[in-house]
Amino acid sequence: MFFEFTEEQKAIRNLARDFAEKWLAATTKDDEEKHLFRREIISEMGKLGLLGTVLPEEYGGSAIGFLSTALITEEFARVSASYSTYSMSQAVGPGLTILKYGTEEQKKKYLPGLCTGEILACFGSTEPDVGSDVLSMNTTAVEANDHYSLNGTKAWITTGPVADIGLFFAYTDKEMKDKGISCFIVDLKHTPGISTSPYSKLGLWCTVTGEVVFSDARIPKDSLLGPRGSGYPILMEMLRNTRLCAAARAVGLGRACLEDSIAYVKERRAFGQPLANYQMIQGQLA
């Protein structure tokens, strides 16, 4: 089967490659060593239209599709695996989910900011003792008069400690199991009862990953995303979407490893000649 990128896709790939070389390559080594996240880089991504690629133009996106988004993520990951995560945490994750399940008011409130980078988003279902077994989560949301009271801890949340909003999942009726989980759009910066803390990790230091703790956090009822009890299928769909970016990131990292390996074997000499001249090395790289 013959496959060729369109001219638009090639242009997007080149734009992302140029951005990565200009904004990421120059600082990523020092930033990773300092565990430094630069919010201004996300803003620059937004200015070039590199964040809202899967969202429609009426909400500030460019609607150029998943393949172009994968190309952007791949080019970012080739230079900085940390910053490649923001394709996933912005439009492809929370953005598409709000687009499909949100009210018109929610779409207008959040989607344009996700596209520009003015709003930094995250999402969370994982807990300290609960990973892929989503139905074992302990976070609860108890309905009151005009709000839900959210209690629980979410763990390993990508961008959680620096995000403005997050899509979080909690039981509104645990007896209903998968039909008792609901999704909430949570204002992480202005909601009392929420605390965050970053983790010390082995890598990806420019991506701030951490814990989000809810202690009787009052979440307005209009922050419910989709019908009450529909959180489980919403989460499963969002995870499927974000895995595209995870795969593209792996491709970008693989390219970087291959390029570095080729450069090394051309430079490193053994027995009077570059390693690249040896058939065994050539075979391994091929």
- Calculate the dihedral angle through the C-alpha atoms of 31, 34, 35, 36, rounding to the nearest 10 degrees: -50
Kindly give the interhelix angle for 66-79 and 231-267, rounded to the nearest 10 degrees. Answer: 50
**In the chain, where the domains are located:** 7-120+236-262, 121-232
Q: Extract the residue ranges of the chain whose pLDDT is less than 50.
A: none
| CATH (residue range 7-120+236-262) | 1.10.540.10
Q: Which residues make Cβ contacts (< 8 Å) with residue 61, sequence separation at least 6?
A: 52, 53, 54, 55, 91, 95, 111, 115
Q: Name the residue among 170, 222, 228 with its Cα closest to residue 194.
A: 170
- Tell me whether the CATH fold assigned to 7-120+236-262 matches the one assigned to 121-232: no
- The pair of three-digit structure tokens given for residue 165, joined into one six-digit string: 């909003």
pLDDT at residue number 87: 74
pLDDT at residue number 102: 98
**Three state DSSP letters for the chain:** CCCCCCHHHHHHHHHHHHHHHHHHCCCHHHHHHHCCCCHHHHHHHHHCCCCCCCCCHHHCCCCCCHHHHHHHHHHHHHHCHHHHCHHHHHHHHHHHHHHHHCCHHHHHHHHHHHHHCCCCEEEECCECCECCCHHHCCCEEEECCCEEEEEEEEEEEECCCCCCEEEEEEECCHHHHHHCEEEEEEECCCCCCEEEEECCCCCCCCCCEEEEEEEEEEEEHHHEECCCCCHHHHHHHHHHHHHHHHHHHHHHHHHHHHHHHHHHHHHCEECCEEHHHCHHHHHHHC
**C-alpha–C-alpha distance, residues 69 and 10, integer Å:** 12
In CATH terms, the superfamily for domain 121-232 is Butyryl-CoA Dehydrogenase, subunit A, domain 2 (2.40.110.10)
Q: Which residues make Cβ contacts (< 8 Å) with residue 48, sequence separation at least 6?
A: 15, 19
**C-alpha–C-alpha distance, residues 224 and 218, integer Å:** 12
C-alpha to C-alpha distances, 91 to 43, 66, 144, 244, nearest whole angstrom:
14, 11, 31, 12
pLDDT at residue number 26: 87
Mind listing the pLDDT tens digit for each residue in 242-261? 998 899 999 999 999 999 99
Mind listing the pLDDT tens digit for each residue in 78-99? 999 999 998 778 889 999 999 9
pLDDT at residue number 89: 81
pLDDT at residue number 219: 98
